[in-house]
């Protein structure tokens, strides 16, 4: 491009900041948002000028396609501030790549790299005081796109809006997590949109998760749609199992999201020579390992929590408590990963990108 990408943005700053009213020590995840947001509209087959404006509600036509046919995708990312007050992103290229793969799968236009990346950079720089130092603190970033075209005919929209909003976050900890292994409900099916980060994937999980909550479990471990014999994801996260001294996780597929945290864990454990197998883990394998004592750990992996240990699981009305580990591999990996994200350890992978 001959034009400097920064010149293509329209920026209107908020007259006052609401940051002074925020209790940063007691943040509920994803409930408080920074002073500014970004949006960019796709009309007549092309992207318009990206706009950064004070965070505010926006008018929507009641016939907007997103309300009727669910064309909506998103990403979850974080920005971190190091001890020298520099701000860093973690593998943003992976989020952009996955975002556009999701867009293609839902018949939406791909977002150009300069709008996505430069939009993040300008927005974060404008609200940089919202990024707090200290391990566990971060600024959660939510790029998303919705169909804004009018009309209720069942076809892809011709107009879309790409947006970025940001929310300060503390360490995401939910206490002890117990899970229920799904026997009937599925997160996704072959040929479906399970590999896309589509809004509908998450709304479809709410009902079976609520049923699990009513039985005293916080999350569901999803199984494959065809046989319900293969363990696939935990809640909204990729899932890992440690049996004896080996880590196992399912391969990505049309049903399983290619998580950025997941792929980072794979590279970390390979670097550290931890035994790893990327293959389908069967429910019967897990039950055998739980009964003979070889099942040591289960944990979920995702952007919000990074790593969330699971203390036990239930299957067919039987609950299996996991043994307490003196130095769990889940927390070892989490520590290594968050040290890289917060620039407390050398980033030998080249994952961190300075704002």
The mean pLDDT of 316-323, rounded to a whole number, is 96
Domains in the chain: ranges and CATH: 5-171 (3.30.470.10), 178-341 (3.20.10.10)
DSSP lists the bridge partners of residue 315 as: 318
Q: Say what the pLDDT of residue 6 is.
A: 52
Q: CA angle, corner 221, sides to 290 and 248, nearest 5? A: 60
Q: Say what the pLDDT of residue 173 is.
A: 59
The mean pLDDT of 50-56, rounded to a whole number, is 98
Write phi, then psi, for 266 (nearest 5 degrees). Answer: -60, -40
As a three-state string, the secondary structure of 29-59 is CCCCCCCEEEEEEEECCEECCCEEEECCCCC
CA 24, 27, 30, 32 torsion: positive or negative? Answer: negative
Measured between alpha carbons, how far apart are the two ends of the chain, in Å?
A: 21
Higher-confidence residue of 171 and 324: namely 324
Alpha-carbon span 26 to 236, nearest angstrom: 23
Tens digit of each residue's pLDDT (9 = 90 or more) over 257-298: 999 999 999 999 999 999 999 999 999 999 999 999 999 999
DSSP lists the bridge partners of residue 10 as: 51
DSSP label at 133? B
Tens digit of each residue's pLDDT (9 = 90 or more) over 176-194: 899 999 999 999 999 999 9
DSSP string, 170-229: -----SS-EEEE-SS--S--TTSSTTS-BHHHHHHHHHHHHHHHHTT-SEEEEE-TTTS-
Question: Percentage of the chain with pLDDT > 70?
Answer: 97
- Closest Cα to residue 78, out of 22, 132, 156? 132
- What six digits make up the tokens of 89? 């992103």
DSSP label at 149? -
Average pLDDT value for the chain: 95
Higher-confidence residue of 331 and 2: namely 331
Q: CA angle, corner 162, sides to 158 and 164, nearest 5? A: 170
Alpha-carbon span 197 to 176, nearest angstrom: 26
Q: Say what the pLDDT of residue 167 is.
A: 98
CA 35, 173, 146, 143 torsion: positive or negative? Answer: positive
Confidence grade of residue 1 (pLDDT, cut at 50, 70, 90):
very low
Q: Say what the pLDDT of residue 4 is.
A: 46
């Amino acid at each position: 491009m001959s034009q400097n990408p920064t010149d293509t943005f329209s920026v209107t700053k908020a007259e006052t900041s609401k940051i002074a009213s925020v209790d940063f020590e007691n943040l509920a995840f994803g409930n408080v948002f920074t002073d500014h947001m970004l949006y960019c509209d796709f009309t007549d087959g092309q992207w318009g000028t990206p706009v950064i404006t004070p965070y505010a509600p926006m008018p929507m036509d009641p016939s907007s396609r997103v309300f009727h046919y669910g064309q909506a995708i998103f990403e979850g990312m974080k920005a971190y501030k190091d001890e020298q007050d520099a701000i860093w992103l973690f593998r943003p290229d992976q989020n952009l790549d996955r975002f556009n793969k999701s867009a293609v799968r839902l018949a939406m236009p791909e977002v150009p790299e300069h709008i996505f990346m430069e939009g993040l950079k300008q927005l974060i720089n404008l609200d940089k005081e919202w990024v707090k130092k200290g391990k566990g603190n971060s600024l959660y970033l939510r790029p998303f796109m919705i169909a804004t075209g009018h009309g209720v005919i069942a076809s892809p929209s011709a107009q879309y809006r790409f947006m970025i909003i940001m929310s300060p976050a503390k360490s995401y900890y939910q206490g002890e997590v117990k899970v229920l292994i799904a026997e009937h409900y599925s997160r996704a099916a072959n040929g479906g949109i399970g590999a896309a980060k589509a809004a509908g994937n998450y709304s479809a999980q709410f009902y079976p998760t609520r049923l699990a909550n009513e039985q005293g479990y916080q999350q569901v471990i999803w199984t494959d749609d065809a046989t319900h014999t293969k363990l696939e994801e935990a809640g909204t996260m990729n899932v890992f199992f440690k049996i004896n001294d080996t880590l196992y996780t399912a391969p990505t597929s049309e049903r399983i999201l290619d998580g950025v945290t997941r792929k980072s864990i794979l590279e970390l454990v390979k670097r550290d020579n931890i035994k790893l197998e990327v293959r389908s883990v069967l429910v019967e394998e897990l039950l055998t390992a739980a009964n003979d004592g070889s099942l040591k750990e289960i944990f979920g992996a995702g952007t919000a929590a990074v790593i969330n240990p699971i203390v036990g699981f239930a299957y067919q009305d039987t609950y299996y408590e996991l043994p307490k580990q003196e130095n769990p591999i889940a927390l070892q990996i989490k520590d290594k990963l968050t040290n890289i994200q917060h620039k407390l350890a050398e980033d030998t992978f080249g994952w961190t990108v300075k704002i």
